[in-house]
A and B are shown apart, each in its own frame.
Chain A
Amino acid sequence: MKFPLTAAALALAALMPAGHAADWQDSGDPLASARWRDMQQQFLAGQPVLFDPRVVVSAPTVAEDPMQVPVTVDATALPLVEEVVVFADFNPIVEMLRFYPLAARPYLGFRVKLQQSTPVRAAVRTRDGVWHVGGTWVQTTGGGCTAPSAAAASPEWQSRLNEVSGRQWTAGPNAGRVRLRIVHPMDTGLVAGIPAFHLEDIQFSDSDGRALLRLRTFEPVSENPVFTLQRADGNGPLQISGRDNNGNRVEARITP
């Protein structure tokens, strides 16, 4: 039982001066990654951190396709989630995405490109300012970030860029769920001669204009991204509005 001990240690660590706290947290990384301290520096520096089993990150232990590794972050067991940042310790581009579940549940499914075996983690900030961290190791033979997208070889995406297809489930065990696919090459910029070209910001709101979830995506998110969201309430039409790093707009509406 590693977690309760870790949680206790880190709860204690949160009360200690920063220098000592870092030591506790380093030794407590349940994924035993040599990069954990760097990750903490980069994303959570100076803030209280807790390895928390309530942050469930699902991904296959072995990735069959390093260009499309499915990751699901479920922090619905935590109250008052404000921000979730997802990163992979050993990826050439570490940060994958960030989301703010404003009025949606703190849950997101997506796919990413991985270059080598790495922990994939979600750090979840609750209203009290504590970052709750969960994660899992994914083994892969790599090539995910430095291999060209399929779109780079075909002009098809140009006529369909930022086209959204999606669906909402209003009944059954997955009521409140939204799934969507956006046509975008999501080029990382790590392939010679192909500049970084990726979706950057996507906002989901309901028909009253109430923001449900804000999503910021980075280069490692897979080509033609597929997202799974979970609405907290309501099941009316969903408005999607966003842009990529070249300023191309995404505008779509998903009706149940």
Chain B
Amino acid sequence: MTRLPAQPRLWRRLRPLLAPLLARLLSPILPPLVALLLAGNSHAQGFDYQLVPERLAAGVHVFIGQREDFNTRNGGNIVNTACLIGRDGLIVIDSGPSRRYGEQLRAACARLSPLPVRLVLNSHFHPDHFLGNQAFADSPIAALAATRDGIARQGNAFAENLYRLSGDWMSGTEVHAPDRSLSAGELEVAGRRLQLYALHGHTDADLAIYDRDSGVLFAGDLVFHERAPTTPHAAPAAWLAALAQLEALTRQPGFTALVPGHGPVARDAGPIRQTRAWLNWLQTRLAEAARAGLDMNEVLALPLPAEFARLPLAREEYRRSVSHLFPAAERALLEGGR
């Protein structure tokens, strides 16, 4: 707006008389009003993520985040993390979206077991999976090599973005990069036998972890459940191949549970099929739209099929995915047509 309303002269003259009167009228009701507001907001005031562990098997506990986007109410608690209790120590899978989350995760793990944290694993380089690392600075923190590179290159930009989205929940959060690299294969930590899978498709490097002692598969963000998948660094073909590999794991005799990166735990491969269906549909939709000659804004305006529209964040993630993936579909068509 270019014009500011001038303060009426009458009010300026009356203010010294009326202001104390108003203050006196309001004073009896103001303190209870403020108290009421604060009480309703106390959760946010204390920046308490209210992490409650869900026990999946002996020594396997997960913390399931909200199926929402980052905001100043959830503070970024939209992600799943886990604590595995071994013979002589703990393993933490993903450290959450902020220093505060990491600290509260560490405290929640300590309530489950007094054993020290032997290893923290970051499944991939997205900020909700590693920005809690600060709270585990005295433990080894490991990730795939390309994940470490990604965090070194883009970690600060991600953190900056989360400060904008999650607000004060983030205060004190800084990037604390993993200090060692993982590779695919067996890894025994604190007496627990883990099988590591170095996959890609959601990002350049996606770590999936199968706990052989419990039969629980931690799929990271290769799998979303009852929440639309995110695609900012996705390579859909590779992602689909990774899903096939994960689905094979769920057919192993010892398999008991699947922990997606976002959304509730399942006892079967349902979330894998759901993620695959979304990706297949998205790929087909974008290729067809390019073939039909649609402009990007027309693609954005297309309706979602009911099967997907019901998923939390479906519209938002579709909008974001069109931006991430339509240019490639369009380019393939235009360059193929020459």
Binding site for B on A (CB under 8 A): 26, 32, 34, 36-37, 58-60, 62-65, 68, 70-72, 109, 111, 141, 165-167, 169, 172-174, 177, 179-181, 226, 228
Task: Identify 30 residue pairs between A and B in the complex whose beta-carbon atoms are under 8 Å apart, listed by A's number.
Answer: A26-B2, A34-B2, A37-B2, A58-B297, A60-B319, A60-B323, A64-B323, A64-B324, A65-B324, A68-B327, A70-B296, A71-B297, A72-B298, A165-B334, A165-B335, A165-B337, A166-B337, A167-B293, A167-B337, A172-B292, A172-B293, A174-B292, A174-B294, A180-B334, A181-B331, A181-B334, A181-B335, A226-B330, A226-B334, A228-B295
Rounded to whole Å, the gap between the CB of B158 and the closest CB of chain A is: 12
Whether a CB of chain A sits under 8 angstroms from the CB of B333 is: yes
Contacts of B295 on A, CB cut-off 8 Å?
70, 72, 109, 179, 228
Contacts of A228 on B, CB cut-off 8 Å?
293, 295
- List which B206-262 residues lie within 8 A (CB) of chain A: none
In angstroms, Cα B1 to Cα A166, docked, is 43
In angstroms, Cα B323 to Cα A68, docked, is 8
Rounded to whole Å, the gap between the CB of A82 and the closest CB of chain B is: 23
In angstroms, Cα B164 to Cα A59, docked, is 23
Query: Number of residues in B with C-beta < 8 Å to the partner?
Result: 26
**Considering the complex of A and B, which 3 residue pairs feature the smallest CB-CB distances, nearest first?**
A70-B296, A109-B295, A64-B323
Contacts of B2 on A, CB cut-off 8 Å?
26, 34, 36-37
Contacts of A60 on B, CB cut-off 8 Å?
297, 300, 319, 323
In angstroms, Cα B162 to Cα A141, docked, is 12
In angstroms, Cα B164 to Cα A11, docked, is 43
User: What total of A-B pairs shows CB separation below 8 Å?
Assistant: 76
- List which B131-169 residues lie within 8 A (CB) of chain A: 161, 164
Rounded to whole Å, the gap between the CB of B261 and the closest CB of chain A is: 20
In angstroms, Cα B294 to Cα A58, docked, is 13
Contacts of A180 on B, CB cut-off 8 Å?
334
In angstroms, Cα B333 to Cα A53, docked, is 33
- List which B280-319 residues lie within 8 A (CB) of chain A: 292-298, 300-301, 319
Contacts of A172 on B, CB cut-off 8 Å?
292-293
B293 & A62 in contact (Cβ 8 Å cutoff): no
Closest to B320 in A: A64
Contacts of B3 on A, CB cut-off 8 Å?
26
In angstroms, Cα B335 to Cα A36, docked, is 40
Contacts of A65 on B, CB cut-off 8 Å?
323-324
Whether a CB of chain A sits under 8 angstroms from the CB of B24 is: no
Asked, given contacts A64-B324, A181-B330, whether A111 binds B337 with beta carbons under 8 Å apart, the answer is no
In angstroms, Cα B3 to Cα A37, docked, is 11
Given contacts A60-B319, A174-B293, 13 further A-B contacts (CB under 8 A): A58-B297, A60-B300, A70-B297, A70-B300, A70-B323, A71-B297, A111-B296, A165-B334, A165-B337, A167-B337, A173-B292, A179-B330, A228-B293
Rounded to whole Å, the gap between the CB of B287 and the closest CB of chain A is: 14
Closest to B299 in A: A70
Closest to B294 in A: A174
Whether a CB of chain A sits under 8 angstroms from the CB of B12 is: no
Contacts of A174 on B, CB cut-off 8 Å?
292-294
Whether a CB of chain A sits under 8 angstroms from the CB of B338 is: yes
Closest to A180 in B: B334
Contacts of B161 on A, CB cut-off 8 Å?
141
Rounded to whole Å, the gap between the CB of A65 and the closest CB of chain B is: 5
Closest to B337 in A: A167
Rounded to whole Å, the gap between the CB of A115 and the closest CB of chain B is: 16
Contacts of B319 on A, CB cut-off 8 Å?
60, 62, 64
Closest to B327 in A: A68
Contact of A141 (CB < 8 Å), options: B164, B301, B323, B338 = B164
